[in-house]
Structure 1
């Protein structure tokens, strides 16, 4: 651990020299729009957004997966794949549904530090759910102001340290030998605040060959330097060794035994090991009563070894064992000012950002138990440079206008060091785009706000999507970024115990990135551009506080996502087909009873309509509706607090498909969800008064 900490520190020091003062943000630009006051930050924002606070992040659940809380946000699909080798599957209004691992098309941010790499791929497992105070989820046109993302933004904010030092432990056990335990400390010591936690998760997994262990550690140190400035240090670490990957199932295998691994999983011992360390430093200073400066710099490293479900020993197949040695980092310099222009109050935000990702990639033949001969050796680099300007205008007491743009330049470069195959596959590509966005809101009454917005989106391929050509070796530099045009209108209603958010939206995408032909017919996916696609629909969320301690919540999304123009690489015309992995209807509902004696219980409902698994719409997963129950009790005993809890998921013991591997190789599309399963746990807290 010591040498890794030293390495991360060296990366940060290198970046400090490499990123000039003009290329470094404590706050990302849309945090200026979203605000940081969870009570009223988003009420006049001219875009669809959701606020998920700490009570909803882990409501008597495992507390390890973002899907546990993100399902409350309409427009967002967050699915637990029951596969810790591939992480949670997240999409927003259909963007990201094609991702076979990680998150695409949706940017992930924690405390101003990006958890999405400069090439656009994010890892939701890196969120510190044990220390999170709330999430803000942004969808629609204003997402373009974050740059290389089309679907939306998920940003988390770590909770403030408690006034009195507090030690908090929480352990839970459940079905399939599931066990998770965490230890958390927080406290304020003069001008210094501390939040720290460590956790371990172990499980045999619902399916065979899906055993996993995950260790995480997070530290947040805050220092109030003086009345005008503060400094925050964040450290994050994840260690996940030898995580088994059960792969997807074919329709025939699913009917035979839904808990079995995919056919190649045992033969090639498919598995994945990940080590990830990251450090970030935030500085914030108020220069005058009207100006504020924020500076952020971060760096880290990520090591991955993955055994895939094929040998990959051919001359141009790149290997079936992948090893990645990644160094990454970046920074941002941001400025905010409250002033007047044209005799109108206006808040301005401007800044420059830089992101770097350097990755050594090697591929070896997969002999099952061990790796064979070297089949690929290259160094891949991404440089992302961006500039943004955002203004929020108070036109009158009722009308407000948000307008801005972001210019992005993302450069991909590959240096081929595997020359024994007689081919030098080095190359580079440069993507540039300016993404404007405009939104206007009207406060019809103190309770009702109406808004409309429009903007452009930009999404480059990731290095994983560029990694393979349909034939031959080297990167697929023919793959182009997708561009979107987005429009949205909606309302926000707040009155007494009622909260309602509703929106209608339309998006048109040029050069949609889709799964293309299998590489040399060996079972490895490649990617291509479709012609055009469109997404249109509506979403709403309703929260109602009732009498006698009852609370009701409903989130619903209708989404029709189709290809307008799409000729597949095999010559078939898929124009008019639905985008795979995207349900037309999705719903989450909850009825909670929380009397004032510390006890609470709730019934949850989750439902998705039919989803197609392939671009040709010939394979699909049926729709489903499942019900879950949870209950817990918190008892204060002086400086101690005791909190036992329990939950049962899938009360009716229903068999259904939890997630899909879109266009999965070998027709292995299906990832089944567990039947009825249980979880029990207890939290214990001590506070030094």
Structure 2
């Protein structure tokens, strides 16, 4: 009887355990790494979709047993953008997961801008970072709204796809286009040898991260007086292969379509993206049609060697409605410039094709030596009927950059050396014609322009006792233009003109002190040198400005940044004083052509602040995130010495600069996938003339975006969203024409408008 009882008991236990025995267990293991610094992350939470959890150790490594039904894991860490990784047969025990830092956590954000890859808390300079999450808070029709959340930076949109960027007042000399700001995409120069950047050849969806270095602090990128912006493409995590399509529609005929394929493996990371954006326009003559194809692969040849490439092809057409007077602006902001040279009559527009090809090679010779070298070429063709003329240009450019890094010691002090150089050569064939109602008529000028620019740089960072970090940097810059006038119908005939801006030595000294492991303070002194662009010397009316000199300036800066209250609060405050001599300003002549001249000097003082507070950040709670953030900029910018035609403007406010700007936002996200982003932007009144007699009114604009983002099953992901801009229905100008002839200062922005769309994702 005992034997029979034992058999029954054993059978009963086996029946109870059978479901558990049949449920096979699988091992999931890997390493979690900071995507920027490539350093392991400790304390990361890894959760399988079947409920099992693990925490990474100091080496970033984790392992756990999961149910056989597990198809994906979610990786979450404070200060980083969460990631989802699909589990596949043969790819479960050697996972390499890259997490992108969130700009809200200063102790973990790694800055690449000075090439030493230090945390932001150890970086002695005014720098702001926009993460992928912050860029996608808006509708992606442009980067304008995202960039305008950054203190000290303003981005204007004079017409759809016509952009300007001002860093601490640098648009004083920019009636149109991006100039006096150096830009790179994936570490490869985007700014051309002639000093301009065709930012509108990129789509906002191409960009996954932005670093903005303010003022002449980035000696390793030359010593321009405006600043440097580094753009990075969005990369897939290791183990992610996915295809994504999206569509957005909105007010005034806004349509947007995107298709993206991305793949991240141990040996490569490939991004292929196509986007098309169309817009009928809020104003007359303000339509847009832009197509962008981006191919951006990276190949990890070995632990020592990486090869990356960018291929960007753009077909861009946009119309130019032109500026309005105050009376026209008040009467009907949707109208275009009228009259004999009206925008509709003259078909004022830009038709541009561009091809940008870049190749980057990174090689690690040893633990102490490494090199990054990039080569690129740019081809652009421009067909541009303007209100008063018609331009046809072709641009060809080649260039390269190399940078060496060496880690060593001076005595017992750890030291990082960075040194290298950059060279660019561009050639432009430029013809201008009379504009006969949108058609080229009689030839005015036929020019060939060669632009050559380059610099060498060096930087040393010394880790001193008591947690001080000393930075010593310099650059030696040289720019040369060669103009050949093949034909000119009126006046002077063919001639050649060469302009060489002598090499200028631009040093930088910075000292940082880590006050605690959560707070640091720094001070820096740097000088800048910014020669005129080709467009400032050879204006669109064909006149050569032979007397224009380069700007030179010195920047003094102190700042403090850190975090508190259990890492919930982050703050970044900087004060600066920038003295600029030979300041370049612009005015419009009677034909609405921008002309440039040097004035004596300017004095630019300011304070920039950014603060963020996470009320709640709980990756496993019903309410996952509740964050309030804001930025504020105070500018006290004055002409120090400025006389023109017998008038003295010394002491006047700098044209085109608002003394106060502020932005605030609220972000909310739930476990169900619902989210809400609210943004409010305030801009103070702006002087529009050097005389300070005309001002653009202050304005307050409110925008919001709400959506639902969810994973559906093992392979599918869905996002549905809707949003509104200018909910306050403000009548304002997002980009003003300063010193405009005929008082045509205003470029009206749309009134209250709406958009909505969806994104569908398939993970392979």
1:511 to partner: Cα distance? 0.6
Other-structure match for 2:139: 62
Other-structure match for 2:125: 47
Q: Give the distance between the partners of 1:674 and 1:559, measured in 2 at CA.
A: 27
Task: Kindly indicate whether residue 594 of structure 2 is the aligned counterpart of residue 525 of structure 1.
Answer: yes
1:141-220 maps to which residues of 2 (within 5 A)? Answer: 141-162=216-237, 163-188=239-264, 191-220=267-296
Offset from partner CA, 1:589-612 (integer Å, 9 cap, x none): 001221222111122110000001
1:109-124 maps to which residues of 2 (within 5 A)? Answer: 109-124=184-199
| 1:81–1:522 distance in 2 versus 1, CA, 3 Å | closer
Stretches of structure 2 lacking an aligned partner (at least 5 in a row) = 1-110, 617-622
| 1:375–1:80 distance in 2 versus 1, CA, 3 Å | closer
Equivalent residue in structure 1 for 2:431, among 350, 358, 362: 362
Secondary structure in structure 1 of the residue aligned to 2:158: coil
| 1:653–1:73 distance in 2 versus 1, CA, 3 Å | same
Other-structure match for 1:448: 519
Secondary structure in structure 2 of the residue aligned to 1:253: helix
Other-structure match for 2:673: 598
Q: Give the distance between the partners of 1:395 and 1:355, measured in 2 at CA.
A: 37
1:9-408 maps to which residues of 2 (within 5 A)? Answer: 31=112, 33=114, 35-36=116-117, 41-59=119-137, 61-84=138-161, 87-162=162-237, 163-188=239-264, 191-241=267-317, 243-263=318-338, 264-310=342-388, 320-408=389-477
Offset from partner CA, 1:616-646 (integer Å, 9 cap, x none): 1111101111211111111111210110011
1:117 to partner: Cα distance? 1.3
1:585 to partner: Cα distance? 0.3
Offset from partner CA, 1:103-148 (integer Å, 9 cap, x none): 1222111111122112321122234532422111111341344225
1:374 to partner: Cα distance? 0.9
| 1:230–1:128 distance in 2 versus 1, CA, 3 Å | farther
1:295 to partner: Cα distance? 1.2
Task: Kindly indicate whether residue 721 of structure 2 is the aligned counterpart of residue 640 of structure 1.
Answer: no
Secondary structure in structure 2 of the residue aligned to 1:247: coil
Offset from partner CA, 1:424-477 (integer Å, 9 cap, x none): 34201111211111111001111110100011011111111111399xx54212
Other-structure match for 1:314: none
1:652 to partner: Cα distance? 2.1
Other-structure match for 2:496: 426
Other-structure match for 1:316: none
Other-structure match for 2:55: none
1:66, 1:125 within 8 Å by CA — same for their partners in 2?
Answer: no
Secondary structure in structure 2 of the residue aligned to 1:464: helix
1:645, 1:682 within 8 Å by CA — same for their partners in 2?
Answer: yes
1:89 to partner: Cα distance? 2.1
Q: Give the distance between the partners of 2:144 and 2:488, measured in 1 at CA.
A: 43
1:99, 1:662 within 8 Å by CA — same for their partners in 2?
Answer: no
Which is further off, 389-398 or 639-648? 389-398
2:148, 2:155 within 8 Å by CA — same for their partners in 1?
Answer: yes
Secondary structure in structure 2 of the residue aligned to 1:255: helix
1:618-629 maps to which residues of 2 (within 5 A)? Answer: 618-629=693-704
Identify the structure with bigger relative contact order (alpha carbons < 8 Å, sequence gap 6+): 1
Task: Kindly indicate whether residue 575 of structure 2 is the aligned counterpart of residue 504 of structure 1.
Answer: yes
Task: Kindly indicate whether residue 746 of structure 2 is the aligned counterpart of residue 670 of structure 1.
Answer: yes
2:345, 2:438 within 8 Å by CA — same for their partners in 1?
Answer: no
1:210 to partner: Cα distance? 0.6
1:47, 1:141 within 8 Å by CA — same for their partners in 2?
Answer: no
Other-structure match for 1:17: none
2:203, 2:275 within 8 Å by CA — same for their partners in 1?
Answer: no
Secondary structure in structure 2 of the residue aligned to 1:579: coil
| 1:35–1:144 distance in 2 versus 1, CA, 3 Å | closer
Q: Give the distance between the partners of 1:224 and 1:640, measured in 2 at CA.
A: 28
- RMSD over aligned CA atoms reads 1.7
Secondary structure in structure 2 of the residue aligned to 1:380: strand
1:332 to partner: Cα distance? 1.3
Q: Give the distance between the partners of 2:745 and 2:445, measured in 1 at CA.
A: 28
1:338, 1:346 within 8 Å by CA — same for their partners in 2?
Answer: yes
Secondary structure in structure 1 of the residue aligned to 2:653: coil
Q: Give the distance between the partners of 1:265 and 1:128, measured in 2 at CA.
A: 26
Task: Report the TM-score when normalising by structure 2.
Answer: 0.81
2:519, 2:560 within 8 Å by CA — same for their partners in 1?
Answer: yes
1:469, 1:475 within 8 Å by CA — same for their partners in 2?
Answer: no
Offset from partner CA, 1:169-218 (integer Å, 9 cap, x none): 11100000100010000013662321010010011111111111000010
Secondary structure in structure 1 of the residue aligned to 2:647: coil
Q: Give the distance between the partners of 1:442 and 1:293, measured in 2 at CA.
A: 29
1:160 to partner: Cα distance? 2.4
1:517 to partner: Cα distance? 6.5
1:426, 1:474 within 8 Å by CA — same for their partners in 2?
Answer: no
Task: Kindly indicate whether residue 762 of structure 2 is the aligned counterpart of residue 686 of structure 1.
Answer: yes
2:319, 2:350 within 8 Å by CA — same for their partners in 1?
Answer: yes
1:120, 1:459 within 8 Å by CA — same for their partners in 2?
Answer: no
Q: Give the distance between the partners of 2:394 and 2:677, measured in 1 at CA.
A: 45
| 1:218–1:397 distance in 2 versus 1, CA, 3 Å | farther
Which is further off, 178-187 or 162-171? 162-171
1:52 to partner: Cα distance? 1.1
Q: Give the distance between the partners of 1:670 and 1:212, measured in 2 at CA.
A: 20
| 1:385–1:686 distance in 2 versus 1, CA, 3 Å | same
2:444, 2:489 within 8 Å by CA — same for their partners in 1?
Answer: no
Which is further off, 591-600 or 531-540? 591-600
Count, aligned residues = 638
1:676 to partner: Cα distance? 0.7
Q: Give the distance between the partners of 1:262 and 1:366, measured in 2 at CA.
A: 16
Offset from partner CA, 1:39-85 (integer Å, 9 cap, x none): x73221111111111111121x321311131122111012333432x
Q: Give the distance between the partners of 2:683 and 2:219, measured in 1 at CA.
A: 28
Offset from partner CA, 1:234-276 (integer Å, 9 cap, x none): 10111113x2110111112112211000122123221110111
2:379, 2:397 within 8 Å by CA — same for their partners in 1?
Answer: yes
Secondary structure in structure 2 of the residue aligned to 1:428: strand
Secondary structure in structure 1 of the residue aligned to 2:731: coil
Secondary structure in structure 2 of the residue aligned to 1:96: helix
| 1:139–1:199 distance in 2 versus 1, CA, 3 Å | same
Stretches of structure 1 lacking an aligned partner (at least 5 in a row) = 1-29, 311-319
1:460, 1:482 within 8 Å by CA — same for their partners in 2?
Answer: yes
